[in-house]
Amino acid sequence: MPSSHDITALLDDWTRGDRQALDRLLPLVYDELRRIAARQLRRERAGHTLQPTELVHEAYLKLVDQRRVDWLNRAHFYGVASRVMRRLLVDHARRHNARKRGNGFEWVAIDEGLNVPAPDRIPVLVLHDVLGRLEKLDRRLAHLVELRAFGGCTLGEAAEVLHVSKSTVKREWRTAKAWLSRELQKEYSHD
């Protein structure tokens, strides 16, 4: 298993323009990217057409084009990868729902502590819209939700990516869940 230091060093080299570092990085991060993709896809509707390998490849192609990112460490890389995968899943859900003319939703699990009609599963497009509203209010809280819901990050990993203490992340996660619960109740009360 590659060390965090090895990955961070390759990310530093890549940031400085070393394209060979990128070639050496992929084999080191591929398994973890695939785990993230599989975790996200497990939360999706049954019969989802994307496979983890395909999601990883699409995400990796987007990550390779990230020229303005100053990679801080491997946790930062995986956090950005999770965000990219989320956006790919949202785009996929939009295309899928457009074909079905709104007759189906793609679902994503977020947390058992949310009090919404479907206890642990929220339509990915609804979550995307609600996250957009949260991002306007508090970018860090929105990023935290993204890391937890789409990236499967633990509280400790999220703290590392966000550069805050684990106790801060715990407090902010409670706040984010309460806000999301309230907003999602509003979404569902319109049905």
**Rounded CA separation 54/51 (Å):** 5
Give the mean model confidence (pLDDT) for residues 48-74.
Answer: 80
Predicted confidence (pLDDT) per residue in 112-134, tens digit: 444 443 434 566 777 778 888 99
pLDDT at 121: 59
Domain span at residue 170 reads 4-189
**SS3 per-residue string spanning 65-86:** CCCCCCCCCHHHHHHHHHHHHH
The structural domain count of the chain equals 1
Phi and psi torsions of 112, nearest 5°: -70, -20
Q: Which residues contact 108 (CB under 8 A, 6 or more apart)?
A: 40, 43, 44, 89, 121, 122, 123, 124, 127, 149, 150
Q: Which of 110, 157, 104 is nearest to 134 (CA)?
A: 110
- 96/31: higher pLDDT: 31
Phi and psi torsions of 152, nearest 5°: 65, 20
Beta bridge partners of 108: 122
Instruction: Output b/e per residue, 3-38; b: 16+ Cβ within 10 A.
Output: eeeebbebbebbbeeeeebbebbeeebeebbeebbe
Predicted confidence (pLDDT) per residue in 130-185, tens digit: 888 999 999 999 888 888 877 777 888 888 888 899 999 999 999 988 888 888 87
Q: Which of 52, 45, 49, 128 is nearest to 87 (CA)?
A: 128
pTM score of the predicted model: 0.62
In this structure, which amino acid lies at residue 123?
P
- Indicate the angle between helix axes 74-100 and 4-15, nearest 10 degrees: 80
Give the mean model confidence (pLDDT) for residues 76-85.
Answer: 84
